[in-house]
Chains A and B, each alone.
Chain A
Amino acid sequence: MSADSANPTWIKEHTYPPNLRRDVDLGQIERLASTAAGGLLLLPGLRNPTKVNLLLGALGIGLIYQGVAGRNVVESLRTGQPLLAEPTGLRIKKSVTINRPPQEVYAFWRNLENLPRVMQYVRSAHRLGGGYSHWVVAGPRGTVLKWDARITVDRPNEMIGWQTLPGASINHRGYVKFIPAPGARGTEVHVALEYEPPGGELGKLIGYLLSPFVEQQVKAQMRNFKYVIEAGEIPTTAQHSWRPAQWAWNQLQAHESYQPQPNRGEPGKQEEVQA
């Protein structure tokens, strides 16, 4: 096993994702109001970019930022705090409990080729040996994202950590921990991700604004992971009714790319970790 088993210190254990952060200055109502007011100020500038409207637009962006980040912009500027409080990238932490022993859950994940079955956007994952793997992922609007990744931590039945290699479409690193849940409730699966949205500071701001959606996606993929391990299949209501509603067809498409495996609960043999 060539992967080092050092504890990854680069993701702090108790770092909250942006929308769960405790260090916000503003309350929920203030944040909503700030975001809404910012949106209103931004609109004229987009329609008719005169100097005044652009100035108002800039103010609007500030207000939107303030609303989303929950931080008082004026205060941040005055005290010299960085506007984006996440200097190293965006972080997401999500967890789900799976009613199976850690060995089984770990083995399913460690067999990386299983992951396209449960992660909607992952088109393929291949192990290249030596702890390296190649990933092809569907990006927004028909784009294809690719990266090579290296397993940085591999503690059987406990934890897998990874990091992308230079040249990745999206630089990221993450870990998944498998912790026995109390009272025979199965395995708590904790995923943490840290990623750098491409496109410099602007990309970071956009990424920051989009992070709640990314979080929802991560949660959805983890749910699929649970569905397949526990129930052997992903529930679907494709063709739920007769009308050709777009979303129903989308679901059907998604379904066709998913190949159910016959052996419920033990997908992928408990093969030796070939890191």
Chain B
Amino acid sequence: MKALCWYGVGDVRVENVPEPKILNPRDAIIRVTLSAICGSDLHLLDGYIPTMQKGDILGHETMGEVVALGKEVHNLQIGDRVVIPFTIACGHCYFCEHKLYSLCDNSNPNAGMAETMYGSSAAGIYGYSHLFGGYAGGQAEYLRVPYADVDAFKVPGHLSDEQLLFLSDIFPTGYMAAENCNIQPGDVVAVWGCGPVGQFAIASAYLLGAERVIAIDRVPERLRMAERQGKAVALNYEKVESVVEALHEMTGGRGPDACIDAVGMEAHGSGLDGFYDWAKQQVRLQTDRPTALRMAIQACRKGGTVSIPGVYGGVIDKVPIGAAFGKGLTLRMGQTHVQRYMQPLLEHIEQGRIDPTYIITHRLGLQDAPQGYKMFRDKENECVKVVLKPA
């Protein structure tokens, strides 16, 4: 089969690889009908996530049709149409039983490695380095799905692949980011980063009752999307002297009630701070550039919440913990417990409260995935979201 493989920094290729097989009793194999490139895949492309190996198949936003089942999967049938949550969860450990699926105890075969780095291991993730399990990803023609009785979500026939695909990651991720904000009536929510997760965080904040959402980015077409489809107030951070001051002025001096960092470890800084962070990251004095996070903490109103769906992987520096402490902020973060959100968000789609297809800007064949990666990374051709269809 064809699959998109990682070869090194800036180097991904479509190769012919063997098809996956059933290895464990709770496995399923799906024929991929649609997958997508995630913003977090760009961290892999740029080499900021350690423990990648040449030949690793990428992709964790996947849906398809069941073609083979292990003997312990009883709730699926061959031919079922399924969306695959990107967090692999066993369904039976303490964390899964408490719906904290992305913290599953049992799905990372390289748990020892993760324990060394993070103290404990969280769930395995498709195509996201060996630290997160070394699972093959879904930017391929076929995908092996472990614990398929828990990790393959059956979807109805009357909705299109494009409407359903984002249940695998970014819609739940944006939604959990907004849910973590504990939105109250009248709340103003500021969202840093108007990529796909930011767009869904904006939409979700409104679904959860936010009064107003302020969208922060510098890419015109993304701000435009946030404004037109997301109904947010756009703020171009390159056009203002200080984002923090601008946000305070837009909220009567209070600051946003909640701030969402949908940017993560590869934030674009500007000026001296930006150069400082870039330089430290290059020599690995810090692994992540927390520009957006710093601003979010600085801007947030007293007693507010900073919610972090943007991916961080290592160590950051000069985080204004004094501001967070002094203002009594709540910080919430983590990988998305996707399985928890699939059913309720499917209902939002079915009821027509949101049509997730608006973020798709590019539809490519799987064989063109490498160009898709570069276009998405460089934000060429007004690229916001690339979906990939195997031939």
Contacts and interface: CB of A to CB of B under 8 A. Distances in A.
Interface of A: 97, 99, 185-186, 216, 219-220, 223, 226-227, 230-243, 245, 251, 255, 260, 262, 264-265
Interface string B169-208: 0000000000000000000000000000000000000000
Interface of B: 3, 5, 15-18, 20-21, 23-26, 53-57, 71-72, 88, 90-94, 97, 105-109, 111-112, 124, 133-136, 146-147
A236 B109 CA distance: 6
A233 B25 contact: yes
A240 B136 contact: yes
Given A230-B90, A241-B5, A242-B5, 9 more contacts: A223-B112, A231-B90, A231-B147, A234-B109, A235-B88, A235-B107, A242-B3, A242-B55, A262-B71
List the 10 shortest-distance A-B pairs measured between CB atoms, nearest first. A242-B17, A231-B90, A243-B55, A231-B106, A241-B55, A237-B134, A233-B24, A235-B109, A99-B94, A230-B92
Nearest to B25: A260
Contacts of A237: 109, 124, 133-136
B24 A236 contact: yes
A255 B24 CA distance: 9
B54 A99 contact: no
A223 B111 contact: yes
B27 to A, nearest CB: 9
Contacts of A239: 18, 20-21, 23, 136
Nearest to B111: A223
B93 A241 contact: no
A153 B57 CA distance: 49
29 contacts: A99-B92, A99-B97, A223-B111, A223-B112, A227-B90, A230-B106, A231-B26, A231-B91, A231-B92, A231-B147, A232-B25, A232-B92, A235-B24, A235-B106, A235-B124, A236-B109, A237-B109, A237-B133, A240-B56, A240-B135, A241-B5, A241-B17, A241-B53, A241-B56, A242-B15, A243-B54, A245-B53, A260-B25, A262-B72
Contacts of A223: 111-112
Contacts of A245: 53, 55
A2 B17 CA distance: 58
A234 B27 CA distance: 12
B90 A264 contact: no
